[in-house]
Structure 1
Amino acid sequence: MEIIMLNSAKLKNLDEINNFLDRFQVPKLTYHINNLNNPIFPKEIEAVINTSLTKKKPRTRWV
């Protein structure tokens, strides 16, 4: 009998969680997946390379 009571409590909690999440617009994972699947354009690659080349790198001194 206790198992049935615990399961019904879990179902109530799941319903409450679903109702809570339905109130807000949660970002969908598919948006991020589609964004990752977009190609990287050569100009973007060139811009990253140029910015990394212009930054000064710290020098290590061996004593």
Structure 2
Amino acid sequence: MAFTVLHGDDADSMIIQRLFSTSMDIHSTLQLVQDASTTKLLREAIDRLDHAINQIRNHAFDGQRP
């Protein structure tokens, strides 16, 4: 995977997009999982990614600290 060096708002937006995409990939995988404990772990991972996205948005775009 190639990485592009970005600065400022472009970097923040790219990071948010990557985290969101990863969250959606995990969410799509939930449909394939039969084990309840694995489903729980995946849902917790999605929640952590969503929290990280919100922290980045607050810090980057609102000027607040996460």
So what's the TM-score if we normalise by structure 1? Answer: 0.40
Bigger RCO (CA 8 Å, 6+ sep): 2
Please tell me whether Structure 1 or Structure 2 has the larger radius of gyration of its CA atoms.
Answer: 1
Higher helix fraction: Structure 1 or Structure 2? 2
So what's the TM-score if we normalise by structure 2? Answer: 0.38
